[in-house]
Amino acid sequence: MTIKGKDSSMQSYQIDGLHITPQKEGADKYIKISYPFRYGVYSEIKSNSYTFGFNLNGEIKTIQGRGEGWLDASEWLKRNAGNDWIYFSAGGYTGAYDFTGEYYVPCLSYNSNGIFGPDRFKSPEVAAAFDAWRKLRKQLNTVDETGLPAQTAGFIHRVKKMGPEKLEGRAGLLHDIIGGQVSVLPPDTRHVEYDVIPVTISDGCLYNCGFCRVKTGKMFKLREKADIINQIHAL
């Protein structure tokens, strides 16, 4: 077991084949770029085959394969606050950019929002990545936190707490606050890694077109101002 790093915020810890960095500093601005880039302050665990990214609460945020057995070195999986997983596909060399004007296309795990390309969530590589996440949680449960640096031990403890049931519960709380799942997001959220905190200011739709796959069926109605303010405080 070894510790190394230039300063306390970037110290990493190696144990049982895992390279654990409790706190890393990424970019402070969102930019369109043709290779994986991380933003804000986050945590990271690397195994021989995968890189797992976490927010500072210990919630899993990204999974990216490394080396053989992964679909594309420039592509990755991301989990949002609603507990939905997204596969960011580059579509081959310049494929996504030629098709959409973006370097990546977000591929979701349900077919109502398919844009182009195969369903990545049916691929054995993505299934293996989720299995690796399950195995990582199991491995972390065997780690003795005694003697570890406080920052590292605290990070491992938070990750162990944020299992599937806890993550699903936190997503359910988000949906309770805003009154359900968000079916449509603003166009600029197509940009890679654009994180969204949704506030619902209206329900339903003026039209409810028959061909629409994301309609609620409700008539359009604005939310009361007090409801919107309560959402903001709760979020």
pLDDT, one tens digit per residue, over 20-57 is: 999 999 998 888 888 888 889 999 999 999 999 999 99
pTM of the entire predicted model: 0.87
* Res 96: pLDDT: 78
CA 61 vs. chain centroid, Å, equals 4
Predicted pLDDT of residue 120: 86
Q: What is the pLDDT of residue 191?
A: 67
CA distances from 72 to 65, 118, 152 (A): 8, 14, 30
**How far, in Å, CA of 59 to CA of 38, rounded?**
15
